[in-house]
Amino acid sequence: MSHGFIKNNSNFSSGDLFSPEHWLNKLLHPYRHAHTCNYQGKPLLIRWTRRAQHALELQETPLLVEMQLYFSCMIKKRVLFHSLHETDKTDIFTINDNLAVIMRAVQASSCDPNEFARHYPAQRVLETPAAKAMQARQLDIDYRRGQWQGDFII
């Protein structure tokens, strides 16, 4: 499974907000599965669609959903998808046999807008109490056109 950011809309774009396909998709494929857990002392609601549930059931290894706050010239929310065995298991919260989540704040190695837009160069994971205090309240996961998609709310 490849690492990757699924959607890369501009920080200033409206994304799919005005797209009829977006609203039709939300109507036909709502988040039917949900789990609320206590992640690092705060409640986290995780919702996923039937498509995502079906794709999770077909996974050979558990899916790790990484919610990432990327600090560079600007702060960007990213959702990355990994196989659970590909990464260090600290701070990972297991939701079920097929799904686990983690939240990380990451500092960029430089503030070059072109490099930021292409590669998201990371220098280190921020481990300060302030960085750890930033927690997601809700995570939405979908599997569409063969790709994992996600978004989270802080």
What pLDDT does 5 receive? 38
What pLDDT does 48 receive? 93
In the structure encoding, which two tokens stand for residue 139, read together?
């995570």
What pLDDT does 83 receive? 85
Yes or no: say if 102 and 92 are a contact pair by the CB < 8 Å rule.
yes
Phi and psi at residue 27, to the nearest 5°: -70, -45
What pLDDT does 91 receive? 75
Q: What is the CB-side half-sphere exposure of residue 86 using CA atoms within 13 A? A: 15
In the structure encoding, which two tokens stand for residue 38, read together?
């206590």
Q: What is the pTM of this model?
A: 0.72
Yes or no: say if 34 and 50 are a contact pair by the CB < 8 Å rule.
no
What pLDDT does 4 receive? 39
Report the alpha-carbon distance of residue 53 to residue 33 in Å, rounded. 8
Digit-coded pLDDT (tens) for 64-101: 999 988 877 777 888 999 887 755 667 788 888 899 99
Digit-coded pLDDT (tens) for 107-120: 876 676 666 556 56
Q: Which residue has the tokens 């005005």?
A: 18
Mean pLDDT score across all residues of the chain: 77
